[in-house]
Structure 1
Amino acid sequence: MRTLIWLIGIFALAVGVAMVAGLNDGYVLLVAPPWRVQLSLNLLVVIVVVGFALAYALIRIISRTLQLPGRVAQWRERRRRARAGRALNDSINALFEGRFSQSLKSASRAYETGEGSSMAALIAARAAHALQDEPRYREWLEHAAEHGAQGEVARLMTEAELAIEARRFDEAAAKLATLRAGGNRHIAMLRLEAQVASALGRWEELVQTVRQLRKHKALTDEQAAPMLRRGHVERMRELAGDGDALAAYWKDIPSVELQDRGLIERVLPLLAAVGRGELARKQVERLLDERWDSGLARQYAYCAATEGDVRACLQKAESWLPQQSRDAGLLYALGQLCLNAQLWGKAQSYLEASVQHGATVDAHLALAHLLEKLERTDAAQGQYRAAAEMVAGKQKTAVALLPA
């Protein structure tokens, strides 16, 4: 349809031009002594139009001819870039597929073309590292560093990540410090910092980093809890022996992190060792009131630091007893509290009940010490033997689980 419209238009224009030319009787006289040329006006118009067209075509041909070397160079550059792009894509694809030798070769070709040289060098470095080719790994890192600011963040992140894989944590820490000094603080970097802090025992740094990851939703509460627990426990172990520092650290832990029962179980003995177990008493009672936990209840005796604490804890623990009368952990804690209160008869009853409903090495030993104090040596020896048998049984089980 469009072609038909164009044909109709061209024919109409031709008819119009023919009609105008037929009505035009004008002429043009050109004088260049001693010559005189007389032309019809219509012919002159045709000559001018055709001459303009020929001149324009000639100029275009000359221009294109002069531009030909540049166009050939551009075509070659486009082809070079296309080959480099394919080589770079092939190297990335091979790296993710685990074909590290092929990835290294493709990255080398991409680097030689100069297209994406910094990225090609980093891919080659990763492939060489995966091949455990340390000389080439270092060589490609040097090539990546030659490009200065171009890809510097990617290079430092790559070096830090690969250093962590090789367990060179000090080197990784130095690279991450450089990134941090440059104002970088993204999630991938925070993940690496958490690994480095954990490996180097920088527990406060680990806790702060995990909190930031959780804030940015890079870690769920379930994922963050074990890391926070380890950071808090190890830091408090470092502070063990300094009651004031330990208490100050405990008070700085946010309440949401104190919902971790595993954390409470591990730090209660540390607090009790410096006589500050009462700091955790209300938290332990709150957690046990919310949901019963025999393991946490077993630690409850650590919350009693003074005689007044012992009486208060004993009263609270006995209030749980009607609902948890067969819980070995609670019975053990009651036995320990009665020992602290010098209620020997009740302590013996609770410890014997704990052994009956769920024997543990600690319960047998606590009962044995009490029986010795009560000068019941034979009975105490029986408890010592029971504890030794339990330890031996656990050792045999552990040996049996070792791989052949």
Structure 2
Amino acid sequence: MRRLFRLLALFALAVGIAVAVRFNEGYLLLVVPPYRADVSLALALFVLALAFLLFYGVVRGIGLALALPGRVDGYRRRRQREKAAESLRESWRLLFEGRYSQAMRRAGEASAVGESPGLAALLAARAAQHLREVGKAQSWLARVDRDDRRLTPARLMVEAEIYLDARCFAEAAEALQQLQAISGRHIAALRLELRAHEGCGNWPEVIRLTRLLEKRAALAPEVGEQIKLRAYRELIRQRSDVGQLLKTLRRVPAAECRGRLASVFAEALLVDDAHDEAQSLLDRCLAVEWESTLVRLYGQLATSDPTACIARAESWLPEHPDDAELLRSLGRLCLQQRLWGKAQSYLEASLALADRREVRLELARLFEQTERAQLALPHYRAAAEQAE
């Protein structure tokens, strides 16, 4: 539509000029002694316009000819940038496809031309990391900060992952500390930091980071529980005395000190002959959640007040009359106090609920201690058969 309007306007202008020329009687007198020429004004104007157009065309042509090398060079540079941008996009695609060698090559092409060189170097470093070519990855990472300071956090993240893959945990933790100083902590960095501190054996920091990730819903509860359980086991293994063990136990939140973790601490307390502290822990945990593993450990207690320990265990019987572990623990506690009759009744009740080798052996030992070897013999035989 716009072209139609322009064509109509051109026609109108031509008609206007033709009408003006038709009714124009003026003329132009040119005097160049000894010559003299009379030319109509319309012809003079036409010739003048034509001469201007010719002059403009010649000047324009000369200008275009002189600018041609620069225009060709600019065109080449634009083509190079377009190819570099295409190489960078292809590098991303190849990286996600798992074609790491090709991704690194295309990223190198983009970096050589200067198309987002820092980002291209970061891409090449990531591809080299997947190829386990640590030297090349470090070489590419060295170019990132030089080309673009804004990519420093990304460079530190990739560097930390490379160190973790190489099991250089201390170096990974140092890179993540630098990242924290620049941009703070985020979930991905916290996960890497957790791996780094696990590798370094910094178990208090592992526990703290695990709780932080659980708080941000960035770690499954089951996974977090496994990590904390391992960390506490290592701390318990590294203990120097029972005082240090109790100090570690006091730092555990009540919500965490249950189930397997509580049994790990209780077993360690029993190994260190801290039976009263173990009983306190077991009483506290069993009051919150009934756990057969903790009940089994209750039967191994040798506290300063064994009678109170037996009474406490018997108070659980009305609520858990069919718990074989509770009956077995009561039998063992009564055996320690040489309460033969009660011990026999509890162990036989446990055996009736679950025929277990450990219970038969304890019954056999009870009969031997009370000089009833004939009654012990069937239990030894049954225990031997179960062992096979």
TM range (shorter): 0.7 to 0.9
For residue 402 of structure 1, what is the aligned residue in structure 2? none
For residue 226 of structure 1, what is the aligned residue in structure 2? 226
- Which is further off, 188-197 or 350-359? 350-359
Change (3 A) 1:365 1:3: same
- Which is further off, 170-179 or 114-123? 114-123
CA shift for structure 1 position 69: 2.9
Change (3 A) 1:152 1:264: same
Larger Rg: 2
For residue 176 of structure 2, what is the aligned residue in structure 1? 176
CA contact (8 A) 1:88 1:120 kept: yes
- The one-letter code of the counterpart of 1:262 is R
2:289 is equivalent to residue 287 of structure 1:
yes
For residue 261 of structure 1, what is the aligned residue in structure 2? 259
Change (3 A) 1:129 1:321: closer
Residues 47-69 of structure 1: CA deviation (Å, up to 9, x unaligned): 66556655555554444444433
> Which structure 2 residue ranges, 5 or more long, are not aligned?
none
| Distance of 1:75 and 1:366 partners within structure 2 | 93
CA shift for structure 1 position 234: 2.9
Change (3 A) 1:147 1:3: closer
For residue 270 of structure 1, what is the aligned residue in structure 2? 268
Give the 3-state SS of the residue equivalent to 1:257 in structure 2: coil
- Which is further off, 334-343 or 198-207? 334-343
CA contact (8 A) 1:264 1:284 kept: no
- The one-letter code of the counterpart of 1:214 is E
Change (3 A) 1:55 1:230: farther
For residue 148 of structure 1, what is the aligned residue in structure 2? 145
| Distance of 2:357 and 2:119 partners within structure 1 | 59
| Distance of 1:41 and 1:309 partners within structure 2 | 133
CA contact (8 A) 2:141 2:159 kept: no
Residues 269-294 of structure 1: CA deviation (Å, up to 9, x unaligned): 23455342313533332223xxxx54
Q: CA RMSD in A?
A: 4.1
CA contact (8 A) 1:281 1:303 kept: no
2:324 is equivalent to residue 331 of structure 1:
no
- The one-letter code of the counterpart of 1:328 is A
CA contact (8 A) 2:282 2:298 kept: no
CA contact (8 A) 2:121 2:144 kept: no
- Which is further off, 157-166 or 87-96? 87-96
For residue 235 of structure 1, what is the aligned residue in structure 2? 235
- The one-letter code of the counterpart of 2:277 is R
CA shift for structure 1 position 145: 0.9
Change (3 A) 1:52 1:202: farther
2:317 is equivalent to residue 321 of structure 1:
no
Residues 287-330 of structure 1: CA deviation (Å, up to 9, x unaligned): 23xxxx544543455799553862563244213234xx1x3223
Change (3 A) 1:24 1:166: same
Change (3 A) 1:383 1:103: farther
| Distance of 1:58 and 1:265 partners within structure 2 | 98
For residue 397 of structure 1, what is the aligned residue in structure 2? none
Residues 62-109 of structure 1: CA deviation (Å, up to 9, x unaligned): 444444333322322233233334444444444444444444544454
Change (3 A) 1:131 1:218: same
CA contact (8 A) 1:318 1:334 kept: no
| Distance of 1:73 and 1:372 partners within structure 2 | 104
| Distance of 1:388 and 1:162 partners within structure 2 | 54
| Distance of 1:365 and 1:29 partners within structure 2 | 142
CA contact (8 A) 1:268 1:303 kept: no
For residue 188 of structure 2, what is the aligned residue in structure 1? 188
CA contact (8 A) 1:194 1:210 kept: yes
| Distance of 1:49 and 1:256 partners within structure 2 | 97
Change (3 A) 1:38 1:122: same
- Which is further off, 201-210 or 48-57? 48-57
TM-score normalised by length of structure 1:
0.73
| Distance of 1:304 and 1:22 partners within structure 2 | 132
Give the 3-state SS of the residue equivalent to 1:317 in structure 2: coil
CA shift for structure 1 position 193: 1.7
Change (3 A) 1:360 1:64: farther
2:68 is equivalent to residue 68 of structure 1:
yes
Give the 3-state SS of the residue equivalent to 1:84 in structure 2: helix
- Which is further off, 313-322 or 39-48? 39-48
Give the 3-state SS of the residue equivalent to 2:318 in structure 1: helix
- Map residues 3-402 of structure 1 onto 2, 5 A cutoff: 3-22=3-22, 42=42, 46=46, 57-58=57-58, 60-128=60-128, 130-132=130-132, 137-149=134-146, 150=148, 151-239=151-239, 241-243=241-243, 245-258=244-257, 261-272=259-270, 273=272, 274=274, 275-277=276-278, 278-288=280-290, 293-301=291-299, 307=305, 310=309, 313-322=312-321, 325=322, 327-339=323-335, 343-360=339-356, 362-364=358-360, 366-367=362-363, 370-371=366-367, 373-374=369-370, 393=388
